[in-house]
Structure 1
Amino acid sequence: MFLTPPTSASSSSSFFARFAGSITAWSGTTLAFCLALGLVLIWALMGPLFHYSETWQLVINTGTTIITFLMVFLIQRAQNKDSLVLHLKLNELIAAHKGASNRLINAQDFTEDEIHVLHQYFCLLAEKAKHDHDLGRTHSVEEAEENHQEKRRARARK
């Protein structure tokens, strides 16, 4: 049974997704930076005209605070989507590779302790490969321990 992507997203959610994606993409352009720099320069040049008053300072402080506040949410939304898509692609590669450990699918949902245990295990595997002078060989978690034990048994027999 194959899963198909959902197609019944609400129009407001879909609109917001497109809007957030567009704003996030545009905010990273050279034009957006130049416009922001231009606004800051105009504000700075108007300082003498307004005698560097508190109101003059309040304009830039309020404007930048509001823009920053809103951009945090838009950028986080885009980052969440990108992160999820990356996880899905990695999950597909793990699921499709015959020798890969399927328990690593959705590893992003592991607790910090579980991640730490796996990290330590992979560090151990890297160390074993280093001692075996076989850095190019890759394994699943299960295969790696099995292969390492077979190598030890083969060396012991010699």
Structure 2
Amino acid sequence: MKKNFFDHFADQAAYFAGSPGAFIGASLLVIIWAVTGPFFKFSEVWQMVINTGTTIVTFLMVFLIQKAQNKDSKAIQIKLNELVAAHENANNRIVDIEDLTEEELDQIHKFYENLRNSRNRDTSKEE
């Protein structure tokens, strides 16, 4: 499957951002910035360099992290749907349940809590 440019870039950027090399590089930049403070007399421009840089990186990373999270969520959902569909006793009505409203999800959650509680009572009676 061929990825478009943004998908490829986002995957690589997210992978790099979570690597030890990225952490070490960011740490070195902060150390270098801190060490240069006396040379720039801890000026406002010196402070603004780190503030602006970290703000821009944080802003862009939010979107990359969200893209990665969306992709992971979709993959996990597909895997769960496959497991539900493959099990003969499973309730296939819950496939694609993520499309329901919060209230509908709460109702289904309560249904399964009640089901669990009734099964626990049934097993405790057998003992």
Tell me the distance in 1 between the aligned counterparts of 2:116 and 2:34.
56
CA displacement 1:26-48 (0-9 Å, x = unmatched): 11111110110110010011111
Tell me the distance in 1 between the aligned counterparts of 2:24 and 2:119.
51
Alignment of 1:60-99 (within 5 A): 60-99=50-89
Does residue 52 of the first structure (1) align with residue 67 of the second (2)?
no
Structure 1 ranges of 4+ moved more than 6 A: none
Bigger helix fraction: 2
Alignment of 1:5-44 (within 5 A): 14-44=4-34
SS in structure 2 at match of 1:132: helix
CA displacement 1:56-100 (0-9 Å, x = unmatched): 000000000000111111111111011111111111111121111
Q: More relative contact order in 1 or in 2 (CA 8 Å, sep 6+)?
A: 2
Does residue 121 of the first structure (1) align with residue 111 of the second (2)?
yes
Query: How far 1:115 sits from its partner (Å)?
Result: 0.5
Letter paired with 2:110: Q
Q: Could you list the runs of 5+ residues in structure 2 that have no partner in the other structure?
A: none
Q: Could you list the runs of 5+ residues in structure 1 that have no partner in the other structure?
A: 1-6, 135-158
Tell me the distance in 1 between the aligned counterparts of 2:19 and 2:119.
44
Whichever of the two has the greater Rg, that structure is 1
Normalization by structure 1: what TM-score? 0.75
- Give percent identity, aligned residues only: 49
Normalization by structure 2: what TM-score? 0.92
